[in-house]
Each structure stands twice: as C-alpha cells, then as structure tokens.
Chain A
C-alpha cells in the first residue's frame, strides 16, 4: 500500500487511531486463527480400521497354521472353521442372540445401577475431606480386588440367583466408577474453580456448572473401566454359579461347553465374550469420550 508511510507517521505522532488498532487486531485474528481439521473417512479407515483388521487376520492365519500342522490334537485345538460352525449351529437353534442378550442385559443394567450408586459416592469422596480420609483408601483397595473373589460370599449371602450376579457386578464396578470421578475431580485445574467462583458459581451451582463438566473426561474414563469390570465380574459369576433358574448367558454357555468337552464351543464362548466387551466399548463409550475430548481440543486432530 502506498499510503502506509504517511499513515504510520501520523499514527506515531497522535498515538495511533482506533481504526488502526482495529485493523491490526483483525489481521492478527486472521493470522492466528487455529484451523482444526478432521480426517476424511478414507483416511480414518486406512489409519484406524485397517491395522486392527490385519491383526485379526494374522491371528486367524496363525491359528489355522497351527491346526494344519497338527501342533496338538484336534480335540484340543479345533480349526477356525469348526468354531464358525459352532456359531452357525447356535444361530440355527435360534439361541445365539438370547445367550448374548441374557448377559448383555445383566451387564448393562448392572452397570447402570453401579453408575447411580458410584457417582454420588465419588462426589462425596472427592469433596468431603473426612469421607475421603475414611473411604478413599477402601475404594482404591477394592478396585484392585478381583471381583471373582466376591462370588463365594455373594452365593452364601444371596443364593444362586440374579441378585447374586448383580451384587458381584456392583462390587466390581462401583469402586471403578467412584474412583474415576474422584480422579476426574482431582485433575480439575484450580483455575477453573477460581474463575467459576468469580462469576458466582459456588456450592451446588459450582458443582453443576464447573466441577462436574470439568471432571467429565476423568469420569468417562472411570465409566469405561467400570464397564470392563462389570463385564468381567459378570462372566466370572456366570461361570461359577449354575442353576436352572438363571437364564443361559455367555459365561454359563462357556462352562456348559467345557462340561461337554466341546473345545470349538469353548473357543466360541471366549470369542463372543471378547466381542461383546469390545463392541459395547466401541459403540457406547468411545464415541462419547471422543466427542467430549474433541470439543475440548484434547484430541490430537490431523496428527
């Protein structure tokens, strides 16, 4: 621009016009604007979906290889195809989905109850000092106790029924969820709390508008872990507890196949348990977590 020189001279003499600063400001905004990009679908497929698929294919290939080379007897190691046929049999008997659903329903409803119980416990432990001193170590201790250990106790207390299953799920998941919330709250930067207080967010208002949203990433991590614990506890309980009154779930199915010495069925049971656990995590928890992290700029995009 030809007029730049004269403008600068008058500006330095008069201390700069407001319009000058405004235009510098908008120039800076344009230069400093942070561009966030999301990867294209093909890119995501190539980077995120393809590698795990290849991993699965590799495992299947090794498995088939071991089977073809007769590493061990067929009774101990059936081929992938045998397992597939076992799945087909269940499908044609019409029991495949009912087995999966029995366990998924127990797992998810137990998890939801654990959520309702674990969240207020977590809040209390995080925010009330005496409660923290008393319950904090117990909670983190419980988290490292494998919840299978509760099964014998639960059977004696409650008998072999659904309540016993739920008790084991709760004992596994509640500490995880509560601890996740405590960790989430502990990681909230004090600056947010100060900023909240200066705009008038104190007490319950502060908890609702500042503390809980700020603790959400840690809380979600806790929920994810809580689900994993729920699922594991449930499978353990189903494996151990046998009663005709209990519906046939995945854990029971697995144990039945062992009793029949049907190795293809056992492997199918293991694969289904793994599959359901991963599917729930990928379909329910991962999208929520990614959304929360992306909104806060905590997800490395384009990297």
Chain B
C-alpha cells in the first residue's frame, strides 16, 4: 500500500524542498458574510504546489475547495494569510466550459492570446497549435454549440493554456461529462501536463479521478475547510481509472473522506 503522509500546518507539502513552489498557499483563512454572522469557509490552509506537480484537492461539499481555487486564481481575496503564484496570473478551468458563444472555438483561444499580449500575426497559428494539442485541429471555425461536451472542455483547456501560464487550476472540469469522455479527457490532461510541464491544482469530489490523475492527493475537511490529510501517489502514468492500484488507494481515501463527513452527522 502506498505510504500515506500526514501534514500539519507548519510542515507544508513536499514541493518546497527544492526551489520556490509554483503556488504557495500559507495560513489562508476565508470567511463570508458580515462581521458577527460570518461563515468560516477556509481555516488555516497551507499548501504548496511544486513546479510540474499535479495536485488534486479532494473534499465533500462545504469544504471550500472551489473557494480556495478562486483565491488562487485571484478572483477573490483571502480574509487572512497569503497566496503567492510567482509565475503570474494562473489559468483557470471551470466545470462549465465557459466558452464565449459569440466567438468560434479558434477565436475564443485568440481572445485569450490577445489579452495575454500575443501580437496579432502570431495569434492564429498559435491558436491552431493549441487546438492541435487538444486534438481539435479541425474545429477552428466551429461555434461552441456545434461542439460536444468533451470537445468544449478541450477547447476550454486550450483557451486556458493560451494564457501562457505554467500554473493550471481546474475546478471539477470533467464533472459534467459521461464516464467514457471523462476517461479520454483524463488521459489528455495527463499527456498535456507532462508535455508542457504544467503545475496543476485540480479540484474534484471524485476520489477515483483524484487518484487517477494526481501525484499528490490533498483531502480537505468540511466546514471549515482544513487540510485533513494527504497522499503521494507513485503509480506510473498513464494510469487507468479501473486499475487495481487506483482502486485500492481510492478505497483507503474514500474511507477517510467518509470519516470526515460522518463527523458532521454527530452533532
């Protein structure tokens, strides 16, 4: 069985040992609502993502994993603590494809390139290269509604990569897809992650997906979200979601997740 590592707050993740991390989250708290009637969503989260590392954040509802991702993306500010992303604004992918329906697939990517400061003559060839990377080289002129769910998420991935960031944040990007499509996309993201040496922080509530993809799985507790435990996954890539290695570890992590959820039923 894969050795499980437990982290405490003052011993941040494995990524810090050599050089600076791609993402450093230190002692982050986040509350919503007016003073006096606050909901504490995140409680003292510390987590590093090393350059080139694939980390999945796992937790039940109410653990604040999407909130944490929004903070890292810079869409919201932590109540206290700090978040550093030395490489600049990270790319973010949502559960919904969030492609702009008034633009074609290619133009969606070109808009991201434009906003990232890529000069006009280079945008079209770069957009085509990115579409080729996600195996959609024939879809440049397609409208969003002409693409299937899986294709939309791949265009969304290409648009996220167009920002030129080495850090990719993914907020349950495959949750709305059917199992076979999701399987294909798991393989695509693993391939692209390796090819482009990306640092990925991937939020999911699907334990098998977390184990299938990650080098490190971080389990968050719910209400407020805290880092409960983390696991390093040393199974070789590409993994199969049905394989026994993934299954065994999933059972172990699911047990732990159930324990976290059960605590909330007791009072």
Contacts and interface: CB of A to CB of B under 8 A. Distances in A.
Contact of A200 (B89, B188, B238): B89
Interface in A186-222: 191-192, 194-195, 197-201, 205, 209-210, 213-214, 216
Contacts of A195: 92, 94, 98-100
Given A16-B238, A26-B135, A296-B145, 10 more contacts: A15-B236, A18-B191, A28-B181, A34-B145, A195-B99, A195-B100, A199-B116, A213-B103, A297-B101, A297-B144
A298 B147 CA distance: 14
User: Is the contact region of chain A dominated by helix, strand, or loop, or is it mixed?
Assistant: helix
A41 interface: no
Interface string B86-104: 0001011010101111110
A201 B116 CA distance: 10
B115 A200 contact: yes
Given A200-B115, A205-B115, A213-B102, A21 B187 contact: yes
Interface residues of B, number: 45
Greatest chain B CB density within 10 A among A15, A195, A199, A210 is at A199
A199 B144 contact: no
B250 interface: no
Contacts of A245: none
B151 A214 contact: no
A40 interface: no
Interface stretch (B5-13, B216-224, B239-247, B256-264): B239-247
Contacts of B183: 21, 24
A-B complex: 7 closest residue pairs judged by Cβ atoms: A297-B145, A32-B148, A195-B98, A21-B187, A200-B115, A296-B101, A198-B92
B14 interface: no
Contact of A28 (B112, B116, B184): B184
Contact of A16 (B143, B159, B187): B187
B248 interface: no
Contact of A24 (B98, B102, B180): B180
Number of contact residues on A: which range applies?
Answer: 35 or more
A216 B111 CA distance: 18
A295 B242 CA distance: 40
A298 B240 CA distance: 38
Contacts of A56: none
A59 interface: no
Nearest to A35: B146
Nearest to B113: A199
Given A32-B150, A201-B115, A297 B143 contact: yes
A25 interface: yes
A91 to B, nearest CB: 44
A29 interface: yes
Nearest to A199: B112
Contact of B98 (A26, A36, A194): A194
Given A210-B100, A214-B102, A198 B146 contact: no
A22 interface: yes
B52 interface: no
A25 B75 contact: no
Contacts of A34: 145-148
A33 B102 contact: no
A12 interface: yes
A32 B139 CA distance: 13
Interface string B61-93: 000000000000101000000000000010110
Greatest chain A CB density within 10 A among B102, B163, B238, B243 is at B102
Contacts of B143: 295-297
Contacts of B163: 198-200
B149 interface: yes
A192 B180 contact: no
A16 B240 contact: yes
Contacts of A298: 101
Contacts of A22: 135
B184 A21 contact: yes
A12 B116 CA distance: 41
Given A192-B98, A194-B98, A21 B188 contact: yes
Contacts of A213: 100, 102-103
A199 B147 contact: no
Given A26-B135, A34-B146, A199-B111, A12 B100 contact: no
Contacts of A209: 111, 115
Interface in A91-121: none
A175 to B, nearest CB: 26
